[in-house]
Structure 1
Amino acid sequence: MMHTSERWMARKPVAHFEADQQRGGLRRILGKWSLTSLGIGHIIGAGIFVMTGLAAREYAGPALALSFVVAGLGCAAAGLCYAEMASLLPVEGSAYAYAYATVGELFAWIIGWDLLLEYAMGASTVAVGWSGYLAKLLALFHVHLPLWLMHDPHTAQALLTQATGQGTLDQLAQRYSDLTLPSVAGLRLAFNLPAFLIIGVITAVLVRGIREAAGTNLVMVVVKLAVVLFVIIAGAKFVDPANWSPFIPTPHSNDHGEEAFGWGGIVAGAAYVFFAYIGFDAVSTQAGEARRPRQDVPFGILASLCICTVLYIGVSLVLTGMVPYTELDITAPIADAFARRGLAWAVWIISIAAVAGLTSVLLVTLLAQSRVLYAMAKDGLMPQRIFGVLHPRFITPYRGTLLTGLLTAIVAALTPIELIAKLVNIGTLLAFVMVCVAVWRMRLKEPHLHRPFRVRALPVVATLGIVFNLGMMLSLAWENWARLAAWLLLGLVVYFFYGRHRSVLQKSTAPPPPLTTVS
C-alpha cells in the first residue's frame, strides 16, 4: 500500500499511456491537416472580429500588429511545449495527461478540473457571442426577435434600465420586436434561446462522430479563412499610411484613465489579445483520434498557431491603416471600417464569417471538453458510466457529450457574458504554465524516452512560456483569482470524496481494462 501522500503524487507511467493508445477506443481518422483545421477553427473567432478594435484604440494604436507578435511569441513557447508532450504522450487529455505523467495524480486532477472550467465557460461565452452576431445578421434581413429571447435575465433587464434612463427606448426598439419581459411571481424572465439552440446543434454533431465534427468544422474554417483573406486583400486598397503615423504613439492615458500606448501599451495590448490565441491547445485533446498522433498532433498545434498569427498581423495592419486608431469601433471594428468606405455589401460577408467563425470555435471547444472528461473517466477520476462509455455505432463518448452540452447551454442562456468570460483566461494560462513545467520536468527525469518532436533550447523556451503566461495571470484582477480558487476548491472536494477512491492507478499498477460500448 502506498502512503497517502505517495498516492496523491503517484505518476501515471508512460507504459500506461502507450497501453491506452494500443487498446484503441476512439476512431483514429484525423490527419495532420484535419488537426490543423480544428486548431484554426478554435483560434480564429471573436478575437479577430471584435478584440482588434478595442486593443488598438485603448492600448497599442497602430502598433497593434506588434501586440499580436508579442502575444504570438508567448503562445509559441507554450505551443512548442505542447508539441513535444503530444509527441511523447499521444493520448487524449491534453495538459491533464501531461501533468499525470510528470507531477502526479493530484496535480493532474487540478489541471483536468481547470480545463473543464476553461472549455465549459469558453463554450458558453462563445455561444452568447454567437447569439449577438446572429442578431446582427438577422437585422440585415430586417428580422428582429423579442428582447427576452435574445439575452439572459440580468442583461435583458440592464438593457431596459439603461435605455429608459438615457431615453433611448426607440433605439432599442429598432433592434428587438418586443421589449417586454414576461414575469412569473414577480420574477422577470429572459432566456438566450439562440445560444441554447446552437449548443444543442453542435452537441448533436459531436454525438454523431468525429468525422462529422471535423467535416463541419472544415466547411466553417474555409468560409472564415476566405473572408479573413478578403479583409486583408480588399482592405489593403483603402489603407492610408498616414494612419500609421506615429506607428507607436507616445505613452499617455487611454479613455479609461489607464496608462497605455508606447511600448507599455504594446505589452498591454498583447495581454488583451491573448484571448484571440486560445485554441491551439485543443488540438492536443484530439490525439486519441489522430492517425499518427506522435507526428500529426505537433504539426497541427504549430501549423494552426503560425497560420493564425500571420493572419492576425495582416488584419491588424489593414484595420489600423483603413481607420485612425482613435476612431475604431470597439464592437465590430472590421465591419465598421468597411462601412466607412461605403462597402456596405462587405458588412454582410463579414457578419456571415463572424457567425461561421464562432460556430467552429464552439464546436472545437465542446469537442475538447468531452475528450478531457473521457480521459479522466478512463483513469477512474470521473464517473466512467457517464463520461467513459462509447456509443456502439458512433464510437463517441455520447453520454458525457450530452450532459456537458446541456449544462453549458443552460449557463449560456441564463448567465451574463461578462461573468463567464472572466473565468476563461486564467484557467487557460494556468494550463499553459503547467505544460511548460511538465515538458521540462519530463526531459530531466526521463531524457531517453522517444520524442519524435523535440524542442530545441528547451530550458529557454519553457522559461519564456512560464514567465510570459504566469505574468499574464498576475496581471489579472483579484476577482479572477478568487473565482479560480473557488472552482479549484470545489474540485478538491470532488477529488478527495470521489476521485481518489476510484483511481485506476491507485488500485492497480496494471494497465486499465478496455472500455466498453453500450447501447
Structure 2
Amino acid sequence: MKKLIQRLLWKQDPAVYEAKDSKLTPSLTTIDLIGLGTGMVVGTAIFTLPGIVAAEHTGPAVPLAFIVAAIGAGLSALAYAETSSVLPFAGSAFSWINVLFGEFFGWIAGWALLAEYFISVAFVASGWSAYMQGFLASLGIQLPRALTGGFDPGHGSYVDILAALAILVVGILISRGLHQVSRIENVIVAVKLLVILMFIVVGATAIQAKNYVPFIPPHRPGTSFGGWQGILAGTAQIFIAYVGFDAIAANTAETRNPQKTMPRGLIGTLVLGTGFFIAVSLVLVGMFRYDRYANNAEPAAWALRHAGHYFTANLLSVVAIVGIFSALIAILLASSRLIYAFGRDGLLPKGLGVIDDRHVPNHALWLITVLAMILGSVFPFTFLATLVSAGTLVAFIFVSLGIYALRPREGKDLPDAQFKMPWYPVLPAISALFSAVIFWGLNIDAKILMIGWFAIGLVIYFAYGLRHSIINQEHRNRP
C-alpha cells in the first residue's frame, strides 16, 4: 500500500513537458488569447443562458448571478494567471497539478477538465443548432422533428443533426493549423461583439420597468427558484460562461511569451465578458417578463422578434450562427490539447500524443470531435449546461489550491512568476471555497453524474494509466 501511494504521488519533471511541447508552435498573442477566451465566454452562453436562468432560477435578478459567477471566476483567473506564467505547458490544470501534487491528482483534475471540455463542445453545438433552427423557421424552413434535438422520443426528437454537423466543420478547420484558426476567430469575435452592442442598444428601447419588479422574486419552497437560493442556483448553471479561462490556459504551450501574455489574456477576457453579460441580461429581462424565456435556447433573437425588431433579430441570429462557431473553435481546440496531454503522459494511448507535420495533435483532435458529435446530437441543451459547470468548478478548486504548492517553489526549481495572485495565502483559499460553495449549489443530478464520471476516471487510471504513464516508466527504469 505504501508503495502504491508513493507511485500515485510521483511528480512530473517540468523539463519533460517543456521538451515534449516544443513541437507545438508558439504563435498566439494577447489579442489572440482574448479572442479565444471571449469567443468562448461571450459565445453560446450570452445568446442562450440569461433567459433560461431567469426563467428557472433568478427572475429579473439574473445579472446578480452573472456578477457572483464573475467574482468566483475572477478569483480562479488570478490563480490561473500565476500558474500559467510559471508552468507554460499544454493541458493546463492537468499538467500543472501533475507537477505540483503528483500524477494521481493531476489525473483527477484532468478528468474533471475533460468533462468540462467534452460536454462544452456538445453544449455549444446544441446552442448553435437552436439558433440555426430559429433562423431557418423565420424563413419558413422546418427540419423533420426527429432531427431537431437530443434523444427524447416523448417529444419526437432523436438526434440533433445540426449540432453534429457544426462540430465536424470546426474539427476540419482546426486540423488545418492554429495560426489560420486564430485569425478567423478574431474576426468572428469582433463582428459578434458589434452585434451584441446593437442588441443592447435596440433592445433597450423595448424595456418596460414593470418587468424588473420584483427584482429578486421570493423563494419558492422546495425549488431552486427565487431568493438568494435561486441566485446561487443560477450562478452554478451560469459558470459554464467562464469556461473560457481554461480554454485559454490549455493553449499556453502555443503562446508567445506566456509569462506576460497569459495573465493579460485571462484577465482581459474576464473584464470584457462580464461587462457584456450584465448588459445583455439586464436588457433581456427588461424586454419581457422572465417566465416567457422558459426552455428558450435563443432568447435574445426571440425577444427582438416579439418586440417588432425583425431585421435586428434575424441579423442577431445570423451572427449567433457564425459567432457560436468561435466558441466551438476555442473549446474544441482546448479539448484536443488536453487529450494530447493525456497521450503525451501515457495515461491514455500514446498515439493521442502524436503531433503531425502541421504541428497539430490530430489524433487527439479527431477523437474528441467524433465523441462530441455523438454527445451533442443525443443529449438535450439544459442537461449539458449543468454538467459543464460541475467540471469547471472542480478544475477551479484544484488550480486555486495549487498556488500553495507553487509559490514555495517559485525562483527555486521553478521560474519566478511574472504575475502573482495577490493577498497570498488568504486569497487562494477564498477562491477554492467560493468555487466549492457554487458547486454545492448545483442540482443533485449534476453531482451524481460527476461522481459517476470520476468513478469511470478512476477505473481507467488504475486499469491503464498507472501502468503506462511516463512517470511510472521513468521510475521503473531507474537503477
Relative to the length of structure 1, the TM-score reads 0.84
Mapped to 1, the partners of 2:4 and 2:233 lie a distance apart of: 44
Contact 2:240 2:392 in 1 (8 A): no
Alignment of 1:285-300 (within 5 A): 285-300=250-265
Contact 1:74 1:464 in 2 (8 A): no
Using the TM superposition, give the Cα deviation of residue 359 of structure 1 relative to its aligned residue in structure 2, in angstroms: 1.6
Aligned equivalent of 1:12: 12
Aligned equivalent of 2:154: 158
Q: How many correspondences in the alignment?
A: 472
Deviation per residue, 1:392-446 (Å, 9 max, x gap): 2x11011221222112212223344455444322111111111111122222455
Aligned equivalent of 1:68: 66
Aligned equivalent of 1:314: 279
Inter-CA distance 271–479: structure 2 relative to 1 (3 Å threshold): closer
User: Which stretch of the first structure deviates more once superposed, 262-271 or 42-51?
Assistant: 262-271
User: Which stretch of the first structure deviates more once superposed, 305-314 or 458-467?
Assistant: 458-467
Inter-CA distance 329–150: structure 2 relative to 1 (3 Å threshold): closer
Moved over 6 A (4+): none
Deviation per residue, 1:451-497 (Å, 9 max, x gap): 01101113332122211211122222333233222222222222222
Using the TM superposition, give the Cα deviation of residue 80 of structure 1 relative to its aligned residue in structure 2, in angstroms: 0.8
Using the TM superposition, give the Cα deviation of residue 245 of structure 1 relative to its aligned residue in structure 2, in angstroms: 4.7
Of residues 72, 79, 82 in structure 2, which corresponds to 1:84? Answer: 82
Q: Secondary structure at the match of 1:303?
A: helix
Of residues 487, 495, 512 in structure 1, which corresponds to 2:461? Answer: 495
Mapped to 1, the partners of 2:339 and 2:135 lie a distance apart of: 35
User: Which stretch of the first structure deviates more once superposed, 225-234 or 349-358?
Assistant: 349-358
Q: What stretches of structure 2 of length at least 5 have no aligned partner?
A: none
Q: What stretches of structure 1 of length at least 5 have no aligned partner?
A: 161-180, 182-189, 511-519
Contact 1:71 1:273 in 2 (8 A): yes
Mapped to 2, the partners of 1:469 and 1:396 lie a distance apart of: 33
Alignment of 1:391-402 (within 5 A): 391-392=356-357, 394-402=358-366
Of residues 368, 390, 393 in structure 2, which corresponds to 1:429? Answer: 393
Alignment of 1:398-413 (within 5 A): 398-413=362-377
Aligned equivalent of 1:342: 308
Contact 1:243 1:321 in 2 (8 A): yes
Q: Secondary structure at the match of 1:208?
A: coil
Mapped to 1, the partners of 2:174 and 2:369 lie a distance apart of: 10
Tell me whether 1:271 sits opposite 2:236 in the alignment.
yes
Mapped to 2, the partners of 1:482 and 1:241 lie a distance apart of: 40
Aligned equivalent of 1:471: 437
Mapped to 1, the partners of 2:293 and 2:361 lie a distance apart of: 44
Q: Which amino acid letter does the alignment assign opposite residue 277 of structure 2?
A: Y
User: Which stretch of the first structure deviates more once superposed, 408-417 or 348-357?
Assistant: 408-417
User: Which stretch of the first structure deviates more once superposed, 6-15 or 232-241?
Assistant: 232-241
Query: Structure 1 vs Structure 2: percent identity of aligned residues?
Result: 34
Contact 2:116 2:389 in 1 (8 A): yes
Aligned residues: CA RMSD:
2.5
Aligned equivalent of 1:174: none
Contact 2:192 2:319 in 1 (8 A): yes
Mapped to 2, the partners of 1:409 and 1:247 lie a distance apart of: 39
Inter-CA distance 494–341: structure 2 relative to 1 (3 Å threshold): closer
Q: Secondary structure at the match of 2:27?
A: coil
Q: Which amino acid letter does the alignment assign opposite residue 272 of structure 2?
A: I
Aligned equivalent of 2:43: 45
Mapped to 2, the partners of 1:79 and 1:27 lie a distance apart of: 24
